[in-house]
Homo-oligomer: A and B are copies of this chain.
Amino acid sequence: MLIRSFEPDDWPGVWRIVEPVFREGATFPNAVDTTEQEAHCYWVEAPLATMVALDEAGVVRGIYYLRANQPPLGAHVANCGYVVDSSCRGQGIGSALCVHSQDEARRRSFRAMQYNLVVETNEAGVRLWRRHGFELVGTLPGAFRHADLGYVDAYVMYKKLVE
């Protein structure tokens, strides 16, 4: 598994794994009918950095974005979002992306990382991020409108990257 910066030719492979996640409406707050152009803006144009995980055949199996979570006086806290190809769950790709994103954030002088809206029903994600040192800072009652389940709680998760 190679993790490297996104290149324009990666986009079709990214869209292949990202589109079903948006359509599902279970983890990201983006509209379930997000267009390919909007998704490109969200994953590639708006963030500070976009990284992809490629398998041995060069197929995109995962992606994350990294951005500052707030304007300047809160811009030392990073925010990331991750997607792993649903056909490759349980292979450690999410873990590898999570570790890589923390290293990348430290390299860019971020002091902490925050996830703003971790859907409570995304149990695998919550477990993964806890394992990598993220703390569940608080619970936002009914803050996520799950496409199937309706209003569900969401967590704020946070990890300091420096002492």
A58 close to B (CB within 8 Å): no
Whether B74 pairs with A29 at a CB distance below 8 angstroms is yes
Point out the residues of chain B lying under 8 angstroms from A73, CB to CB.
25, 28-32, 144-147
* Copies of this chain present: 2
Among A25, A28, A146, the one with the most B-chain Cβ atoms within 10 Å of its Cβ is: A28
- In this complex, what residue of B is CB-closest to A31? B72
- Measured CB to CB, the closest approach of chain B to A46, in angstroms, equals 12
A44 close to B (CB within 8 Å): no
Whether A111 pairs with B142 at a CB distance below 8 angstroms is yes
Whether A143 pairs with B117 at a CB distance below 8 angstroms is no
Whether A137 pairs with B156 at a CB distance below 8 angstroms is yes
